[in-house]
Amino acid sequence: MRARTPTLSARDLSWRPRARRDGSACRLRRGASELAPADAPDFLGALQRLGYHAFRPGQAEAIEVLMQRRRLLLVAPTGGGKSLTFQLPASALPGTTIVLSPLIALMADQVRALEARGVTATFLASTLPGPEISARLGAMARGHYKLVYVAPERLGAPAFRDICRRIAVPLIAVDEAHCISEWGHDFRPEYLQIGELLADLPRARVLACTATATPVVRDEILSRLGLPADTPQIVRGFARPNLALHVAEEEDRRSREKLVDRTLEVALGRGPGSRPPAHASQDMPAGTAIVYAPTRKVTEQESVRLVARGWRAEAYHAGLEGPQREKVQARFSRGELDVVVATNAFGMGIDRGDVRAVIHLAPPGSIEAYYQEVGRAGRDGQDAMGLLLIAPGDLPLRRRLIERGGGDDSPPDPAVVEHKWNTFLELMRWAEGARAATTRSSATSATRARRWAAAAAATCAASSRPTPTTTPRPPP
C-alpha cells in the first residue's frame, strides 16, 4: 500500500506580518489561529477563488519564501503544481504579474482557466494578429489584467517594455527556466532577453520555475537572470510511486515494435481500433500515450505504423507547419488521439493528467530530459508506465545530434558538446544498470558491457575526440 501524501488545508494556513528590512511584512504560518491583518494580501481567499481547498506539498513553503525573500528558484516535479506558486500571489497582489513561458498552447489554456475563475488574464504571442496584440497591450497599460503571459520572443518589442516600466509589476515568473541555460537539455536563445527585463523592473519579485535542473544549470539560471548567488532554491523530491519504469535492449526492429504495441495495449487497457470507455474504471482505464522518437523521420514512420495498426495516432515535430502542430495539440487535449508520436518538441506544459504511458524509441539527451518527458505520465496519480528502448546504435546517433548543435550555421561550443555528451552517458549508465539488474547471467552482462564500451569508443574515435573515461557499462 502506498503512503498517502499529506496536504495542507487552507483552514490550517494564515498570514501573519513578519518585519523585514524594507518595512513590509508577510508570513504564511501553518496551524496558526490569528486572522490575516487588514493590509496583508488575502492569499487564502485567492486560493479558494482559484478553485482549490488545499495546497499540495511544498506550495505553501514556496509562496512563503517568495514573499519573504522576493527571489526564488523552484525545482519541482512535473505535475507538482508549480503554476499555483505564481498564480496565487498574482491574483492577490496589486498590479500586473508577468509570466514568461515558451508554450503558447499552455498559455492559452491557463488564461482560459483563470478567466473562468474570475481572474483577468491574457497572453501575448506571435500567433495573434497585430490588432489583437495592440488591443491587449492597451488593456495591459490601463492595468486591466492581473496576469499577462508573454512568449519570450515578445520581450524585444519596445511597446511591451515601455508598458512594463509604467505599470505596477509585483511579480515576474519565468516558467521552464531551464531553457535559459546553454548547458541544459532545452536551450532557447530567446530566453537570454529575460535578464534585461528583470533589470528594468528591480522592484518586482522574481520566481524561476522548472521541473528539472542540475546544479550547474541552476547556477546558470541565476547568473543569466541577474539574480544573486544567495537566491533561495527549493528543490523538491522526484519520487513518483505510481510510475513504473522499464528499460529494454532490443536491436531487432520487429521485436521493438511488438514491445511498443504490447506496452500501449497494457497501459491503455484496450487494443488498436478500440475506443476508450465513456467512464474509466480500474479494469478499463481511459487515457492516452506519448511515443518519443529521436528524429523527425522516425516520428513520421512510427506514426504511420501505429495508424496502420488501428490506433488514432498523429505525428508532432518542429518541421510541421504551425497550424498542423496546433491541430495535433488540440486533438490531444480533447482526447481525440490514442497516441502522439513526437520529438522532444512536444510535451512541455501539456495539460492532461491521464497520460498512461510514455515510450522512448531511443534515449533522450540526459537524465534530466528523460525525467521531464517520462514525468508527463500519470500526473493524475493513477498508475502509469514508462518504457525506454536502448541499443548500441544510440550512442553514435546522439553524438551526431549533439555536434549538430542548435541547427544554425555556427558550430556549438566544444565544452558544451562534451558536457552534453557526458550527461547523455549518465543516462545510459542508469539505463544499462536498470536493464542489467534483471539479467541473471554474468556472461550476458559481460557481452553487453563489451558491446557498449566498443560503441562508445567508436563514436568518440569518429568524432576525433578521446574516449571518455566514463563509458556506459552494466554492473557485473
Looking at residue 407, its pLDDT comes to 56
Kindly give the residue spans of alpha helices, DSSP state H, lying in 93-157. 104-116, 130-141
- With contact defined as beta carbons under 8 Å apart, do 311 and 291 qualify? no
Model pTM score = 0.63
Residues in a beta bridge with 207 = 72, 173
Domain boundaries 8-235, corresponding CATH code: 3.40.50.300
Do β-strands 54-55 and 8-9 pair in parallel, antiparallel, or remain unpaired? Answer: antiparallel
- With contact defined as beta carbons under 8 Å apart, do 17 and 40 qualify? yes
Residues in a beta bridge with 341 = 291, 315
Q: Grid coordinates standing for 328?
A: 495535433
Equal fold, 8-235 vs 243-276+284-462: yes
Other CB atoms within 10 Å distance of the CB of residue 321: 8
Residue-by-residue pLDDT tens, the chain, 476 positions: 333 333 333 333 333 334 343 433 444 444 333 334 445 677 777 888 888 888 888 888 999 999 999 999 999 876 667 889 999 999 989 999 999 988 777 788 889 889 989 999 999 988 788 899 999 999 999 999 999 999 888 888 899 999 999 999 999 999 988 888 865 556 777 888 899 999 999 999 999 998 777 788 899 999 999 999 999 999 986 677 888 999 998 888 999 999 999 999 999 999 998 877 655 544 445 799 999 999 999 999 999 999 999 999 999 998 888 788 888 988 888 889 999 999 987 865 566 889 999 999 999 988 888 888 888 898 888 899 999 999 888 888 888 888 887 655 677 788 878 878 888 888 888 887 766 655 444 444 445 444 444 444 444 444 444 333 333 333 33
Looking at residue 347, its pLDDT comes to 65
- With contact defined as beta carbons under 8 Å apart, do 172 and 161 qualify? no
Domain ranges of the chain: 8-235, 243-276+284-462
Looking at residue 437, its pLDDT comes to 58
> Can you list the positions of beta strands (E) in 319-367?
339-342, 355-360
Residue 436, classified by CB atoms within 10 Å of its CB into exposed (0-12), middle (13-18) or buried (19+), is: buried
Residues in a beta bridge with 358 = 290, 386
Looking at residue 441, its pLDDT comes to 42
**CATH code matching the domain that covers 243-276+284-462, chosen among 1.20.1740.10, 3.30.70.2740, 3.90.1200.10, 3.40.50.300:** 3.40.50.300
Which residue pairs, CB below 8 angstroms and at least 24 apart, start in 445-450? Answer: 445/474, 445/475, 445/476, 446/476, 448/249, 448/474, 449/473, 449/474
Other CB atoms within 10 Å distance of the CB of residue 39: 9
Looking at residue 335, its pLDDT comes to 87
User: Whole-angstrom Cα distance, residue 376 to residue 237?
Assistant: 16
Looking at residue 23, its pLDDT comes to 38
Looking at residue 277, its pLDDT comes to 64
Looking at residue 375, its pLDDT comes to 85
Looking at residue 185, its pLDDT comes to 56
Can you say whether the dihedral through the CA atoms of 207, 212, 316, 331 is positive or negative? negative
Closest CA to 190 of 349, 404, 351, 406: 406
Closest CA to 227 of 363, 456, 69, 457: 69
Q: How many helices (H) and strands (E) does the chain have?
A: 15, 17
User: Whole-angstrom Cα distance, residue 242 to residue 270?
Assistant: 20
Looking at residue 213, its pLDDT comes to 74
> HEC states along 251-281?
CCHHHHHHHHHHHHHHHHCCCCCCCCCCCCC
Other CB atoms within 10 Å distance of the CB of residue 36: 19
Q: How far apart are the first and last CA of the chain?
A: 33
